[in-house]
Amino acid sequence: MSGLFITFEGIDGAGKSTHLASVADRLRRAGRDVVQTREPGGTALAESLRELLLQRPMDPLTEALLVFAARRDHLREVIVPALQSGRTVLCDRFTDATFAYQGAGRGFDLGVLAQLERWVQEGRQPDLTVWFRVPPEVAARRLAEARAPDRFEQQPLEFFQRVDAGYARRAEADPGRFVIIDGQGEREEVAARLAEALEARGL
C-alpha cells in the first residue's frame, strides 16, 4: 500500500479525538490528502453497528463480533481503497481498542480476538499508532464535565484501569508502531508533545 495509516488510541476522555483533528489539519497543510474516520464506524453499516454497541446491552462475544464486523466493512469500503490511492488515513481507534476494551476491560479471550483480527484484517496494521495515555481517574473527570456517558463510558474506574493496562500490553508488544503521548495537562501542552513526536517521525 502506498498510503499512510495512522490510528489514535486512548481511554474515553484521553483527548485523542480533539488532537486527531489538529493532526489532520497539520498534514493537509503539508500537502497530504487526508481521510478522517473512526471506529466503530466510518461506513453506513459500521455506524449502525456503532449505535448498537454504544447503547444496547450484550455479552462480550456479541460485542467482539459486532466490532470486527464493523471493522471489516470499514476496511473494505474506506481504509483500504484510500491507502491504495495514496491517501493518509487518520482513524479514531482501531484494533488496539478491541484488545484493550473487549480483551482487557471485559476479560474476553485474547486468543479469539487474535483469530478474528487475522481473519478480518488479513495482516493489515496501522503504520503508526498514537496512544494518548492519561490516568483513568483524570479521563473520568473530563468525561463527567463534557457529556452524558454511553454504555462504555458508564463503566467503573476499575474497568478503565484494565483498559489502560491492555493498551500498555499492546504497546509493549509492538513498540516501533506506538508513540505514547502524555495526555495530562492543558490542550496546548499535549499538542506540543504530539507535534514533537510527529516531527521525530518525519510528519
- Is 14 marked as a binding-site residue? yes
- Is 107 marked as a binding-site residue? no
185/95 Cα distance (integer angstroms): 27
First to last CA, the chain: 18
175/178 Cα distance (integer angstroms): 5
> Do 103 and 163 meet the contact criterion of CB atoms below 8 Å apart?
no
- Quick one: CA torsion of 73, 75, 76, 78, rounded to 10 degrees? 100
> Do 107 and 158 meet the contact criterion of CB atoms below 8 Å apart?
no
- Is 85 marked as a binding-site residue? no
- Is 11 marked as a binding-site residue? yes
- Is 12 marked as a binding-site residue? yes
Question: 184 φ, ψ to 5°?
Answer: -85, 155
DSSP category for residue 36: E
- Is 13 marked as a binding-site residue? yes
The three cell numbers of residue 153 are 463510558
- Is 41 marked as a binding-site residue? no
> Do 33 and 88 meet the contact criterion of CB atoms below 8 Å apart?
yes
- Is 17 marked as a binding-site residue? yes
> Do 64 and 98 meet the contact criterion of CB atoms below 8 Å apart?
yes
Residue 25, H or E segment: helix 16-29
Binding region for ATP: 10-17
Binding region: 10-17
